[in-house]
Amino acid sequence: MTKYILLLSLLFPLKGLASEIKIEHAELKPLGKVIQTNAQITQLPGQKQEVVSRLSGHLEAYFVTPGQHVKKGDKTAVIASIELSKMTAEHLALLEQSKAAEAQKNNTMKLHKKGVASQNDLSNAIIALQAIRSKQNALSSQLKSLGINPDDLKSATDQFVLYAHADGVVGEILAPLHSNVNAQTPLMTLVDQRDYYAVAYLAVDDAMQVSKEAKGWLKVANKVYPSHFVHLLPSIDEETQRAKVLFQIEKSPSSLLLGSFAEMDISLAPYQNAVMVKKSALTLFQGNWVVFVETKHEEDEHDDDEANEHDGHDHDAHKEDEHDGHDHDTHKKDDHDAHEKEDNDEGEHEDHDEDEEVPYMPKVVNIIAYTGEYVAVEGIEADEEYVSEGVYFVKSMMLKSSLGEHGH
């Protein structure tokens, strides 16, 4: 549960600046042994794919560039292929042969019914038609696998357009433009950016304590990304002699750079509950780590209670004063002077409060451990409210208040 307090220039008159301060509740979260290490951003092998030409020919053009986002079905390259020219020409020829063979079969069937053609003649006509159709079906299937619709072909063509087979980002162009390629030549890499992983490097003893409950926090470009444990990789890194643990980055953006290294915090079992606050709430104040909490006016409430208790007695005493023997005019003058003095004192008091009253106070805490965007601390209770954002402005308010005191 969070709430926001908008401090306008009346409460925070620093050059008329208005700022928003965020209030949150301290949370009770599980905390284990926290390890700080390096991790490399990676993906699973199936997420990075090589796009091959699938036909031999001359690489005419690319429709994409490295780093470009593509969707399934987008054009990526075009190849001038003699092989495709032969296939499309043969397909068109088989269409004509099929029509002729079907007409021959129908004519033979009519003659057979009249007793002019033999059963053998009819069987041979049917077999010839089926042989042509079999070749036609096989060729149509090959063309469809290349992304070509046989029904749309009106003439033979050598232009083979290669389409993206999935959504992703073009990683690298592998084959130079205007080069000759064969069916197995890689043209480019296509990266699926939906999921990223991090390989954390841990000491062997620590790695053996990692369980499925382990949590990680990857720090990239001043942002923290929660991660969860996937599995312990079976081999040791030869250069560092450290174990490799794979974590999946939760809700990762599509802009992470593969192969880059970043800092990572990992929490290992056994776990115990600890009070945690946002890391942004911590600040150094008068030489101590503190978080700011709202000031509670317990003394004012206590004074109000006492005033209510004695209100009845004051009322009776006032009645007795009304009927004693004092001069009415003198009493009126005294009351008038008293009220003027009280009003002056009250005005000075209000000005003083407006200058000096700060609705927050620092609370000294002891840092236990950092876990991602949170930090485990001692010195604040679970569910207690604290300033999670806008700490700078609270410190500025306190500085202004202290300067006001010295000015008086």
Sign of the C-alpha dihedral computed for residues 233, 234, 240 and 242 taken in this order: positive
Q: Where are the alpha helices (DSSP H) in 282-327?
A: 298-322
Alpha-carbon distance 220 to 262, whole Å?
6
Phi and psi torsions of 185, nearest 5°: -75, 125
HSE at residue 364, side-chain half, CA atoms within 13 A, is 3
Residue type, 21: I
SS3 for 404? Answer: helix
Q: Residue 335, exposed/middle/buried by CB under 10 A (0-12, 13-18, 19+)? A: exposed
- The per-residue pLDDT for 403 is 67
Which element (helix H / strand E) includes 33?
strand 27-42
| CB proximity list for 88: less than 8 A, separation 6 or greater | 143, 148, 153, 155, 156, 157
* Gap between the terminal Cα atoms of the chain: 40
**Residue appearing with tokens 């197995």:** 184
**Edge to edge, what strands does the sheet with 69-70 contain?**
48-52, 186-191, 168-173, 69-70
Q: Which of 228, 246, 264, 234 is nearest to 372 (CA)?
A: 264
* Coil, strand or helix at 208: coil
Q: Where are the beta strands (DSSP E) in 342-384?
A: 360-364, 366-371, 374-378
Tokens of 150: 């046989």
Peptide bond preceding 226: is omega within 30 degrees of 0, i.e. cis? Answer: no
As beta bridge partners, residue 228 has 215, 248
User: What integer pLDDT is reported at residue 75 of this predicted model?
Assistant: 93
Residues in the chain, overall count: 408
User: What integer pLDDT is reported at residue 242 of this predicted model?
Assistant: 93
Say if strands 186-191 and 48-52 run parallel, antiparallel, or are unpaired: antiparallel
pLDDT score recorded for residue 325: 45
Which residue from 53, 101, 105 is spatially nearest to 79, judged by alpha carbons?
A: 53
Alpha-carbon distance 370 to 383, whole Å?
19
DSSP 8-state class, residue 46: G
Q: Which residues contact 158 (CB under 8 A, 6 or more apart)?
A: 57, 80, 81, 82, 84, 85
Tens digit of each residue's pLDDT (9 = 90 or more) over 159-176? 999 998 888 889 889 999
Structure tokens belonging to residue 127: 């077999």
For 66, what's the count of Cα atoms within 13 Å in the CB-facing half-sphere?
8
Comparing CA positions, the residue from 33, 38, 34 lying closest to residue 239 is 38
CB under 8 Å, gap of 24 or more: what pairs does 252-255 form?
A: 252/195, 252/196, 252/225, 254/169, 254/193, 254/194
Say what the pLDDT of residue 309 is: 54
Task: Render each residue's pLDDT in the chain as its tens digit; 408 residues.
Answer: 445 444 433 444 444 433 578 999 999 988 888 889 999 999 887 777 888 988 999 999 999 999 898 998 899 999 999 999 999 999 999 999 999 999 999 999 999 999 888 999 999 999 999 999 999 999 999 999 888 999 999 999 999 999 988 888 898 899 999 999 999 999 999 887 778 899 999 999 889 888 888 889 999 988 889 999 999 999 999 888 999 999 999 887 767 888 899 999 998 877 888 999 998 999 998 889 999 998 875 555 555 555 555 554 454 544 444 445 444 454 444 554 544 545 555 444 444 444 556 788 899 999 988 887 889 999 999 999 999 998 888 888 887 777 665 544
DSSP state of 255: T
Q: How far apart are CA 199 and CA 6, in angstroms?
A: 43
Q: Within the chain, how many helices (H) and strands (E) appear?
A: 6, 22
Q: Over the Cα atoms of the chain, what is R_g? A: 41
The ranges assigned to domains in the chain are 51-186, 297-324, 326-352
Structure tokens at 3: 């709430």
The set of residues, in sequence order, having a beta carbon less than 8 Å from that of 210 and lying 6+ positions away, is 202, 229, 232, 245, 266, 268
